[in-house]
Structure formats: structure tokens, C-alpha cells
Amino acid sequence: MARGKIQMKRIENPVHRQVTFCKRRAGLLKKAKELSVLCDAEIGVFIFSSRGKFYELATKGSMQDLIERYIKCSWSGVQTQQPRDKQIMDLKEEISRLKREIDVLQRGLRYISGGGASTTTFDGLNDLEKHLEVYVYQIRSTKGSIFGSSWNVLIFMIVIIWFGIDSRPSSWDGG
């Protein structure tokens, strides 16, 4: 006589639930051991019962060895390696970009000091010109922002004086 299929839901009767847990736990551990022997596989199984009891099986070696091996080979280890590799590549690109910029600046300095006018190529002069234009733009932007903030302070002081608003602390008057 064939058995009927058991419906997969929680067993309500605690006694039946405990009996089923014990039988199925033993069956699971037996199957894990068989798989290990037949296929020469390393298998680790953790089981926590509803009462909090802990069961484990490590077919070869110890569970600690299996866990360490899992951590070394886990997907999370691969994922942390990939961002590190990308970070290294980004830093190498930044280093090469800075080296090129230093080279251009050194050539420009030699040209300006008069030591390399005869050895500088047309392309080198074009590169130098582009870099100098960028630096001049940056200097002008910085000057503009400094001038703008000074200008705002000056306007504010004029408004205060014009309207007779005295926002200074009374201690400024000497009293």
C-alpha cells in the first residue's frame, strides 16, 4: 500500500512535530554521510531544533575547517576582491595622469626659464599652452570668487552705514 504525500505545512501537534523532527534529522544526516562516501565530497550540516538544540555534521575534518574553507571560497570574498581591483586600477590611472601632468609642467618650466626653447616640439608647445590656459582660468576663477566675497562685504557695510543701522556690539564703542 502506497503512502500519501504529506502536505508541507507546520505540524500543529508538538509531540508529532518532535517525532518527525528526530526521524527526518536522522535521515538527513544519513543521506549527507552517504553522499560524502559515494562522491568523496566534504559536507557540513547545521541543524537548530525548535527548542534551540544544535546538531552538526562534518564528514571530513572538523566543522571549523569547513567554515574557514567556505569563507575563503565564498562569493562574498570574490565580491570584495573585485572592488579592490577596480580601486587599484583607478589609482594607477590617476598616478599615470599625474605623471603626465608633472612632465608637461616640467617642460613648461624649462621652456619659460629659457633652457629648452630649442628642444621643445610644436606639439609640446601646444600642450604647454593648453595647460597654461587651464591654470590661468583657475587663477581668474579664484580671484573672482575672492573679489565677489569682498564685494559683498563692502555692499553690506555701505547698506549698514547708509541706513544708520548699527549692528556692532556696544563694547565696540569703548563702553
- pLDDT at residue 154 above 90? no
Q: Is the pLDDT of residue 166 over 70?
A: no
Cell, residue 66:
569547513
Q: Return left, alpha or beta for 55; rule: phi > 0 is left, psi -120 to 50 is alpha, else beta.
A: beta
**Which is more confidently placed, 41 or 143?**
41
Output the pTM of the full model: 0.42
Q: Per-residue confidence at 1, pLDDT binned at 50, 70, 90?
A: low
Q: Residue 117: which pLDDT band, with cuts at 50, 70 and 90?
A: low
> What residues contact residue 65 under an 8 Å CB cut-off, 6+ apart?
58
pLDDT tens-digit map of 11-36: 899 899 999 999 999 999 999 999 99
- Return d(Cα 32, Cα 108) in angstroms, integer: 73
pLDDT at 81: 63
When comparing pLDDT for 57 and 142, which is higher?
57
Angstrom distance (rounded) from CA 43 to CA 35: 8
Q: Is the pLDDT of residue 78 over 70?
A: no
Low-confidence winner among 4-13, 83-92, 156-165 (lowest mean pLDDT): 156-165
Q: What is the pLDDT of residue 77?
A: 55
Query: What's the rounded Cα separation, in Å, for the pair 104 and 111?
Result: 10
Q: How far is CA 132 from CA 21, 139, 162, in A?
A: 78, 10, 44
Query: Which CATH code fits 14-62?
Result: 3.40.1810.10
> What pLDDT is stored for residue 175 in this prediction?
46
Provide the residue type at 26 as one letter.
A
The DSSP element (H or E) to which 57 belongs, if any, is: strand 54-58
Least confident of 63-67, 84-88, 103-107, 113-117: 113-117
